[in-house]
């Protein structure tokens, strides 16, 4: 049967090859656990069956895990829909609810009953209902349309996908479905899900706990960050998803996680179920070069320049600090990630190692005429097309990181997308949240820096928008004057000015200077992107062929697909590591380390007075270690990446022992190549989470609805 052929296809690994995997490497698909992983997991210490983890007919662990917002993971921890995730995952929602009068980022927040919980506007959570294997249908359809024109191909394949998703959902209006590609288009599943739209903010520690260490400690170990926040899912009276209503009630989940206070020791089994966003573990050598030079480097340069402006303004003004807190956190997180990745590429000789892997694959492919015909050219095609795209792709990345980050252009673009109806009313609704978190003067300063950065690093005249010529001819080459002209004369710098102008019948958007900027920016970038897309299909086919060859080459051991923000499981164990000669990192940190790092003159290392009081009194309750210390964070070697933030860290019984929130600096190339001796998952200990809720926040009532195992 087709399903068995797929299983045999993906059960693959040539043990002697340079692609060898390790027990703690891999982001595994839950429907394939029974076939691929469960025996190894049980040998490693797991006390559960595959069906207790993933079962479409009965409640299982997968029913307690959800997508949180647009890019994180969360878990249900009570029968009343209480949700744990990271502080940095809830950060955007907390920021939106904050003001100078109620700064929940700075001060924290704890609801003391259901009525005090705050609606988190726009926040959703999504549960996975099931995976349905549709590989046979999709590959058959692709074969049928391969000789059609591109537009016809897209139309037919869209109809196939629509049919598959419609059949998966049936008449259930609360379910959604999408067709998802795995293994570079060699395997397909329909992923069926259910999204809840009434989510309320229950509590979070102040940023001095939830973001303790800030940018300095980001991606670093030892870590002492209480990175958690608490929300609750609400549903209608029938327990179904519904828009916000005061009549909604706490959601009763199919499954919620029990919490263990027993802790862990080095070598103990750990398991993480979550939604890793993106990995590229099967890149060729030239694709690694592209990631380093074409993607990471522009991001580092542009965001460093932008964040320097933002940081100074945020530290000088509380209102701006609240407005830009979430934006800054997101920007700096990926900038530092890119820096670490490039450094690790160099330290670990990643490009050279990829070339060695390519050589091994080519030798395998050339061993028979049949393999040579199927797989002999795919690596060369990938590398050649990737190198060909290098120059225009670099320019596009600078476009996106600089010129596309003029905030004023974004809000003006939202107006240009309004086609009919009352444009003033539509714009007011669409732009309300934007202006709440917008400083036109800071945007003016930032835009000057961004336009200068683009011109400095993209010197090809054909890649530069026409406004650079205008700057030379009308503004004497002074970028500052050009930007000042835009901000002095655009109606979009405030909602009042914009709505007043839009309400006039004779309003001509084309005459606004920021609209002219948008048009010239689009005119210059679109042809480059169009040119690059010409190679996309050939590149995709080559990558699909390479992946299929790898699966065939590896024989009978499991191989996992790259992360694509679908539910995955990773398993490993608790343990420290040795980052370099004569340095050994322990597997756990304690509250004592928080006090050692305290610096009242550095906003990243301020310690709240109440936390110091609890520390001095050693008032840790039932959450302390046996030796009396208060645990804060711990390490495991679970294979995670962005999107796993907020994920459950489970023990061998499937009980919650922590929340995953970061990776470590020494393995920042982990999205490309897994380093078993170095790669670690940084987790906040669930005992510290409960200690902060209970002893620090005084929200003990929340613990009463949890299943806590002592």
> Is position 133 annotated as part of the catalytic site?
no
Could you tell me which residues come within 8 angstroms of residue 309 by beta carbon, excluding any fewer than 6 positions away?
Answer: 442, 445, 446, 449
Q: How far apart are CA 77 and CA 699, in angstroms?
A: 15
Lowest mean pLDDT among 198-207, 297-306, 441-450, 503-512: 503-512
SS3 category, 236? coil
Q: How far apart are CA 444 and CA 409, in angstroms?
A: 11
Q: Please pick, among 227, 268, 512, 562, the residue that the annotation labels catalytic.
A: 227
The C-alpha torsion from 342 through 345 and 347 to 353, rounded to 10°, is -170
HEC profile of 156-224? HHHHHHHHHHHHHHCCCCCEEEEEEEEHHHCEEEEEEEEEECEEEEEEECCHHHHCCCHHHHCCCCCCC
pLDDT at 554: 85
Entry pTM: 0.91
76-119 tens-digit pLDDT: 999 999 999 999 999 999 999 999 999 999 999 999 999 999 99
pLDDT of 10 higher than 50: no
Spacing of C-alpha 153 from chain mean position: 31
HEC profile of 610-635? HHHHHHHHCCCHHHCCCCCCCEEEEE
pLDDT of 315 higher than 70: yes
Cα-based angle 632, 83, 240 (whole degrees, multiple of 5): 170
Q: How far apart are CA 100 and CA 128, in angstroms?
A: 38
Does residue 621 come out as left (phi exceeding 0), alpha (psi in the -120 to 50 range) or beta? left
413-447 tens-digit pLDDT: 999 999 878 899 999 999 999 999 999 999 999 99
pLDDT at 576: 97
pLDDT at 13: 33
> Is position 227 annotated as part of the catalytic site?
yes
pLDDT of 346 higher than 90: yes
Could you tell me which residues come within 8 angstroms of residue 370 by beta carbon, excluding any fewer than 6 positions away?
Answer: none
In the structure encoding, which two tokens stand for residue 605, read together?
Answer: 């290392």
pLDDT at 533: 87
Cβ 571 vs Cβ 41: under 8 Å: yes
531: confidence class by pLDDT, cuts 50, 70, 90: confident
pLDDT of 24 higher than 90: no
569: confidence class by pLDDT, cuts 50, 70, 90: very high
CATH architecture for the domain at 37-117+199-238+249-281+562-710:
Beta Barrel (2.40)
Residue ranges covered by each domain of the chain:
37-117+199-238+249-281+562-710, 285-348+390-534
pLDDT of 30 higher than 50: yes
pLDDT of 183 higher than 60: yes
Query: What percent of the chain has a predicted confidence (pLDDT) above 70?
Result: 97
Element housing 72 (H / E): strand 72-76
pLDDT of 164 higher than 60: yes
The C-alpha torsion from 88 through 89 and 90 to 92, rounded to 10°, is 80
HEC profile of 313-327? HHHHCHHHHHHHHHH
| More confident call, 633 vs 9 | 633
pLDDT of 238 higher than 80: yes
pLDDT of 17 higher than 70: no
Question: Which of these, 204, 238, 196, lies nearest to 118 by C-alpha position?
Answer: 204
DSSP state of 534: T
- Angle between the N-to-C axes of helices 297-316 and 390-401, in degrees from 0 to 180, rounded to the nearest 10: 10
Element housing 144 (H / E): helix 135-145
484-530 tens-digit pLDDT: 999 999 999 999 999 999 999 889 999 999 999 999 999 999 999 98
Cβ 374 vs Cβ 549: under 8 Å: yes
Q: Please pick, among 24, 88, 326, 431, the residue that the annotation labels catalytic.
A: 88
601: confidence class by pLDDT, cuts 50, 70, 90: very high
pLDDT at 532: 87
> Is position 390 annotated as part of the catalytic site?
no
Cβ 195 vs Cβ 176: under 8 Å: yes
pLDDT at 221: 98
Mean pLDDT (the chain) is 94
């Amino acid at each position: 049967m087709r399903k068995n052929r797929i299983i045999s296809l993906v059960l693959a690994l040539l043990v002697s090859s340079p692609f060898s995997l390790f027990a703690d490497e891999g982001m595994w698909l839950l429907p394939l656990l029974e076939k691929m992983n469960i025996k190894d997991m049980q040998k490693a210490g797991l006390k559960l069956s595959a069906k207790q983890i993933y079962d479409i007919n009965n409640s299982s662990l997968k029913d307690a895990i959800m997508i949180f917002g647009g890019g994180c993971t969360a878990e249900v921890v009570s029968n009343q829909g209480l949700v744990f995730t990271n502080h940095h995952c809830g950060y955007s929602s907390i920021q939106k609810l904050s003001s100078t009068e109620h700064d929940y980022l700075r001060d924290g927040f704890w609801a003391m009953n259901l009525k005090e919980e705050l609606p988190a506007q726009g926040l959703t959570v999504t549960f996975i209902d099931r995976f349905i294997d549709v590989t046979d249908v999709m590959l058959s359809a692709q074969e049928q349309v391969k000789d059609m024109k591109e537009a016809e191909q897209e139309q037919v394949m869209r109809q196939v996908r629509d049919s598959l998703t419609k059949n998966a959902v049936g008449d259930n209006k609360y379910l959604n479905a999408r067709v998802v590609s795995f293994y570079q288009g060699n395997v397909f599943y329909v992923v069926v899900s259910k999204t809840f739209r009434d989510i309320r903010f229950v509590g979070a520690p102040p940023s001095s706990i939830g973001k303790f260490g800030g940018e300095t400690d980001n991606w670093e170990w030892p870590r002492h960050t209480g990175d958690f926040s608490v929300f609750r899912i609400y549903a209608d009276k029938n327990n179904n998803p519904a828009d916000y209503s005061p009549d909604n009630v706490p959601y009763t989940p199919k499954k919620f996680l029990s919490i263990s206070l027993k802790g862990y020791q080095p070598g103990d089994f750990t398991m993480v179920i979550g939604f890793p966003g993106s990995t590229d573990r099967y890149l060729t050598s030239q694709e690694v070069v592209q990631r380093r030079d074409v993607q990471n480097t522009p991001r580092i340069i542009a965001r460093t320049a932008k964040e320097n402006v933002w940081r100074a303004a945020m530290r000088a003004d509380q209102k701006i600090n609240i407005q830009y807190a979430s934006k800054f956190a997101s920007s700096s997180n990926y900038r530092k990630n890119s820096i670490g990745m490039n450094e690790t590429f160099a330290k670990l000789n990643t490009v050279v190692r990829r070339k060695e892997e390519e050589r091994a694959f080519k030798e395998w492919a050339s061993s028979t005429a049949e393999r040579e015909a199927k797989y002999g050219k795919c690596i060369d095609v990938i590398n050649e097309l990737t190198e060909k795209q290098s120059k225009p792709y670099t320019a596009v990345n600078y476009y996106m990181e600089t010129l596309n980050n003029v905030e004023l252009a974004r809000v003006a673009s939202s107006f240009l997308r309004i086609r009919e109806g009352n444009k003033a009313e539509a714009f007011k609704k669409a732009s309300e949240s934007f202006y709440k978190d917008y400083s036109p003067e800071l945007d003016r300063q930032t835009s000057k820096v961004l336009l200068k950065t683009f011109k400095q690093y993209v010197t090809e005249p054909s890649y530069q928008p026409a406004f650079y010529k205008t700057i030379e001819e009308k503004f004497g080459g002074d970028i500052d004057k050009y930007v000042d002209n835009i901000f002095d004369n655009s109606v979009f710098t405030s909602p009042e000015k914009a709505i007043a102008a839009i309400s006039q019948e004779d309003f001509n958007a084309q005459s606004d200077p920021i609209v002219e900027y948008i048009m010239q920016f689009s005119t210059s970038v679109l042809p480059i992107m169009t040119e690059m897309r010409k190679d996309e299909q050939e590149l995709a086919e080559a990558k699909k062929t390479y992946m299929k060859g790898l699966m065939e080459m590896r024989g009978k051991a499991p191989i996992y697909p790259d992360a694509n923000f679908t539910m995955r499981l990773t398993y490993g164990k608790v343990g420290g590591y040795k980052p370099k000669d004569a340095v050994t990192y322990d597997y756990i940190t304690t509250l004592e380390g928080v006090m050692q790092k305290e610096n009242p003159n550095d906003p990243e290392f301020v310690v709240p007075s109440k936390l110091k009081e609890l520390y001095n009194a050693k008032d840790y309750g039932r959450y302390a270690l046996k030796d009396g210390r208060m645990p804060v964070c711990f390490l495991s070697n679970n294979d995670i990446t962005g999107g796993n933030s907020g994920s459950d860290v489970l023990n061998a019984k499937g009980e919650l022992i922590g929340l995953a929130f970061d990776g470590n600096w020494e393995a920042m190339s982990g999205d490309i190549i897994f380093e078993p001796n170095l790669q670690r998952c940084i987790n906040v200990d669930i005992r510290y989470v409960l200690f902060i809720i209970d002893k620090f926040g005084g929200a003990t009532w929340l613990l009463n609805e949890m299943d806590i195992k002592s």
